[in-house]
Structure 1
Amino acid sequence: MHAIRLHAFGPAENLRYEETADPEPAAGQVRVTVAAAGVHLLDTAIREGIQGPLPELPALPTIPGREVAGTVDALGEGVPAHWLGKRVVAHIGFAPGGYAERAVTEVSRLHELPDDLDFAEAVALIGTGRTTMGILRFTELTADSVVVVPAAAGGIGTLLTQYAKHRGATVIGLAGGPEKTARVRAHGADLAVDYKDPAWPDEVRAYLKERLDGRAATVVFDGVGGDAGRAAVDLLGPGGSHVVFGWSGKGLHDGEALTFTEEELTARGITQVNVLGPAMMAKAGGDNPVRTLELAALAEAATGHFTPAVQRYPLAEAAAAHRALETRGTMGKVVLIP
């Protein structure tokens, strides 16, 4: 099979498109003929040798990638026969192997897909959608909500925008450049502004004054941090909530986390919550909170509330996909197509 292999940690150019042996499923595993493989910002950090949240870095050479969708083509010992030939999606965890024509994973990680769900969209739901559902556990959106999404053209930002509109909220989406702001409007935002324009906060305040009788924002879903995140928080009124799920304003490696002291929060009359990690798992609840959130995301797609934005690259162009993701040159979930 063909796969992307990493022989040395470093720049995107180290991702090499090569032929390698097909993986074989062990007991309790299946092999999937991959139709779409997800690319995550964390993948770029791992490629550079940054351990991040991983228990340890993978041994080299390695095939990156932790999200796959496709068709089951082989079963390991003990796997029920009915899985053979099924359309599935899976987050394969910290074990890599997704950037390939075939990948293996535990049968317990599989979700069977309906025939009308696109493989690339399914990949977006299993990772980006899962995280989005976790973020949404920390606030209750209603028709009275005024939501600001600083990275509204991204995978999570698109889904947050769609969900908030489904709940009847007013959504203000920020994105970089006219092409991205057009995409944000197309996904339902009431106002889309270019955060590269220094005057964007004034544009938002004018909108709030003219269209909403001067109401302030009630929620900021902040995956950016830095200057854009701080300006978004300044739009919150008393009782508002700053929901933090990242700080990629300059990329995963050098973004600035936006924090406030208790005194600052009290003076502003707002709350701040960091939803990542154990906090999100605790909110999801149950014996398997990750799977709970995955199922929730797939359910939102089934009801039409989620339509993931996807940017596709050929598998052989994984290096280009990494470079684009690192330089904020993508819109939606980045997916590799073998």
Structure 2
Amino acid sequence: MKAWQVGELGLPREVMRLVDEVPEPVAGDGQVLVRVRAAAVNFPDALMCLGMYQVKPPLPFTPGVELCGELPDGRRVIGNPVAGTGAFAEYALLDGRALFPAPDALDDAEAAALHIGYQTAWFALHRRAALRPGETLLVHAAAGGVGSAAVQLGKAAGATVIGVVGGAEKAAAARELGCDLVVDRKAAGEAGDFVTQVKAATGGRGADVVFDPVGGDAYTGSTRCVAFEGRIVVVGFASGTIPTPPLGHALVKNYSVLGLHWGLYNTKDPAAVHAAHEELTKLAAAGLVRPLVSERLPLGAAADAVQRVAEGSTTGRLVLLP
């Protein structure tokens, strides 16, 4: 089968190689072989290439952490491939306990992009932050893969959503997703200052919930515009800078800092992951969530796609169609 392989660590464009004759992976106990119908590109794919992700499969490995696949009986499923036998290939392995029916309302590319981003946003907003109708939700990187999911789920929950993006194209995408207010951090003056914009939009109160997959200055600014009893959910550090927050500031302003590592739920509370998938399937059927797939690319474009996601130059999700 055709599969992308990483034989050494480095930048995706430099270390990813498309190999024409890779043996099909052999299913072990509890595993299922699926034909890959679509593979979504994620930031962790780039981190794996660089050796900077918490999961470090032995070299060589096939990247791709999220897919929509087809079982031998023809059913469509989504899930995360077993580490090392990734989605950027014609076939991959899934854990039989952690595969989920692909929602009928979504095509292959959309279904492939549903699992990680929407599960992450769901657990961040509902399990960790307990977002309530009428609250104000601030979403950083609102036009990105996980940020776009948070915007849609925030609107579905009845929140007012403020999205922060970088650039006019991403601002247009965030508005299309349903943001009530979009702040382009690349705009001049106060127009690009999300702290000022959030305070103005909330009458000085601030955001009740902050969804932060960026870290760095995004986190620091969020602490300046979070509401009394607000909740900042730390999802990742796409900026490359991990904040070291002064806890005294959280004390005097009375806000919470919450961590969200969605992958832990797969081992600590897998029933909650299945329950979240059922809710996401219902929302997809109702037309309330639909992954923003900005580009559908051939399998041969995988290395370039992963590099672009790593550089933060993409909008929504890139999906490979083998």
Q: Same fold (TM over 0.5)?
A: yes
Count of aligned residue pairs for this structure pair: 317
The CA deviation string for residues 24-60 of structure 1, in whole angstroms up to 9 with x for no partner, is 444543322211112221221211233x322xx3232
CA distance in 2, matches of 1:87, 1:281: 23
CA shift, 1:329, in A, is 0.8
Are 1:165 and 2:164 counterparts?
no
The CA deviation string for residues 282-320 of structure 1, in whole angstroms up to 9 with x for no partner, is 9x9745444444444334323333211124332111111
| Contact map agreement 1:163 1:306 (CA 8 A) in 2 | yes
| Contact map agreement 1:126 1:298 (CA 8 A) in 2 | no
* Residue matched to 2:308: 324
User: Residue 263 and residue 206 in structure 1: after superposition, are their counterparts in 2 closer, same or farther (change >3 A)?
Assistant: closer
* Residue matched to 2:87: 98
CA distance in 2, matches of 1:220, 1:106: 33
CA distance in 2, matches of 1:90, 1:126: 7
Are 1:145 and 2:135 counterparts?
yes
CA distance in 1, matches of 2:124, 2:103: 25
User: Residue 151 and residue 24 in structure 1: after superposition, are their counterparts in 2 closer, same or farther (change >3 A)?
Assistant: same
CA distance in 1, matches of 2:160, 2:38: 33
CA distance in 1, matches of 2:279, 2:104: 18
| Contact map agreement 2:103 2:111 (CA 8 A) in 1 | no
CA distance in 2, matches of 1:68, 1:290: 16
The CA deviation string for residues 157-192 of structure 1, in whole angstroms up to 9 with x for no partner, is 112111221222211101110000000000000111
Unaligned 5+ residue runs, structure 2? none
2:190 alignment partner, one of 170, 194, 199: 199
Unaligned 5+ residue runs, structure 1? 74-83, 250-254
Are 1:233 and 2:223 counterparts?
yes
User: Residue 200 and residue 61 in structure 1: after superposition, are their counterparts in 2 closer, same or farther (change >3 A)?
Assistant: same
User: Residue 300 and residue 59 in structure 1: after superposition, are their counterparts in 2 closer, same or farther (change >3 A)?
Assistant: same
CA distance in 2, matches of 1:286, 1:25: 24
| Contact map agreement 1:30 1:106 (CA 8 A) in 2 | yes
User: Residue 226 and residue 28 in structure 1: after superposition, are their counterparts in 2 closer, same or farther (change >3 A)?
Assistant: closer
* Residue matched to 2:2: 2
CA distance in 2, matches of 1:116, 1:263: 47
CA distance in 2, matches of 1:207, 1:133: 23
- Give the counterpart letter for 1:333 in structure 2: R
CA distance in 2, matches of 1:72, 1:131: 25
User: Residue 109 and residue 207 in structure 1: after superposition, are their counterparts in 2 closer, same or farther (change >3 A)?
Assistant: closer
Within-5 A mapping of 1:80-119:
84-119=73-108
CA distance in 2, matches of 1:106, 1:130: 17
| Contact map agreement 1:220 1:243 (CA 8 A) in 2 | yes
User: Residue 313 and residue 199 in structure 1: after superposition, are their counterparts in 2 closer, same or farther (change >3 A)?
Assistant: farther
| Contact map agreement 2:185 2:194 (CA 8 A) in 1 | no
CA distance in 2, matches of 1:277, 1:100: 25
Which has the higher mean CA deviation after the structures are superposed, 196-205 or 63-72? 196-205
**Secondary structure at the residue paired with 2:227?**
strand
User: Residue 59 and residue 185 in structure 1: after superposition, are their counterparts in 2 closer, same or farther (change >3 A)?
Assistant: same
* Residue matched to 1:156: 146
Q: TM-score, normalised by structure 2?
A: 0.88
- Give the counterpart letter for 1:33 in structure 2: R
**Secondary structure at the residue paired with 1:107?**
strand
**Secondary structure at the residue paired with 2:128?**
coil
User: Residue 288 and residue 144 in structure 1: after superposition, are their counterparts in 2 closer, same or farther (change >3 A)?
Assistant: closer
- Give the counterpart letter for 2:8 in structure 1: A
Give the greater-gyration-radius structure (CA). Answer: 1
2:292 alignment partner, one of 309, 321, 324: 309
* Residue matched to 1:252: none
CA distance in 1, matches of 2:278, 2:83: 19
